Amino acid sequence: MKPKETMLNIPLIKKLSCDEIGDDHMATSPDTPMREDAFALDDEIKIELIRKHFFEIMHILGLDLTDDSLKGTPERVARMYVNEIFSGLNPANKPVIRLFDNKYKYNQMIVEKNITFYSCCEHHFVPFFGKAQVAYISSGKVIGLSKLNRLVQYYAKRPQVQERLTMQIGNELKKSLKTEDVAVVMEAKHLCVASRGVKDTASTTITSFYSGKFEDDKFKSEFLEHIK
């Protein structure tokens, strides 16, 4: 069975070999690379197009798509991509942050530990996952603690590199909380390292973001003591 021609009209990009690209996990920008027309298609159209293309990928690999276990996979993958693991690409899914007056005048750091996140390596489209530790010092406003978790998970739900993910969370916390005093530490296991390439199943990657008072050794040490 010959797969249907369903390729999108995408500008041709110079093809680089894997040797030229390598396995370097460097972010090109603190912003996720997005086309200007990224949201010209609604979600249902995206799901249908991804379903067709993933069907073709499975067909090329030689899988029997009439098998009961496989025939629903293209649809499942398409819906998972759009509605779940890449839902953070769509700004419509960004959590609404409501600020409250810090009426109790709490002026010490607020730390949220062990926020679980799952993301996807943009170089190989395999998962990386781990824990985020975030802290801030109120400049007069506070937010509900669950919103810290939701912001972490929102930025994790897109193709990412860990360095960019850490910076996006830190910068968004500064903007949303209207404070410069923010800290983020993330530790993750990357399946592109564990399941392919070097196949190192023991290593983890740690990235950090410090701003405002957290650039001072006193505050940084207190934060690291809280999260160790």
Please, what is the average pLDDT of the chain?
90
3-state secondary structure the chain: CCCCCCCCCCCCCCCCCHHHHCCCCCCCCCCCCCCCCCCCCCHHHHHHHHHHHHHHHHHHCCCCCCCCCCCCHHHHHHHHHHHHHCHHHCHHHCCCCCCEECCCCCCCEEEEEEEEEEEEECCCCCEEEEEEEEEEECCCEECCHHHHHHHHHHHHCCEECHHHHHHHHHHHHHHHHCCCCEEEEEEEEEHHHHCCCCCCCCCCEEEEEEEHHHHCHHHHHHHHHHHC
Q: What is the pLDDT of residues 18-63, one digit of tens each?
A: 555 555 555 567 899 999 999 999 999 999 999 999 999 999 999 9
Per-residue CA distances from 3 to 6, 51, 91 (Å): 9, 13, 34
Q: What is the pLDDT of residues 102-150, one digit of tens each?
A: 988 999 999 999 999 999 999 999 999 999 999 999 999 999 999 999 9
In the predicted structure, residue 188 carries a pLDDT above the cut 70: yes
Q: Which of 10-24, 42-56, 78-92, 174-188 has the lowest mean pLDDT?
A: 10-24
Could you give the residue numbers annotated as active site?
121-124, 162, 190, 192
pLDDT score, position 25 = 54
pLDDT tier, 157 (very low <50, low <70, confident <90, very high otherwise):
very high
Distance CA(113)–CA(131), nearest Å, equals 8
pTM over 0.85: yes
pLDDT score, position 121 = 96
Maximum alpha-carbon separation in the chain: 69
Structural domains in the chain, sorted by start:
1-23+37-85 (1.10.286.10), 100-227 (3.30.1130.10)
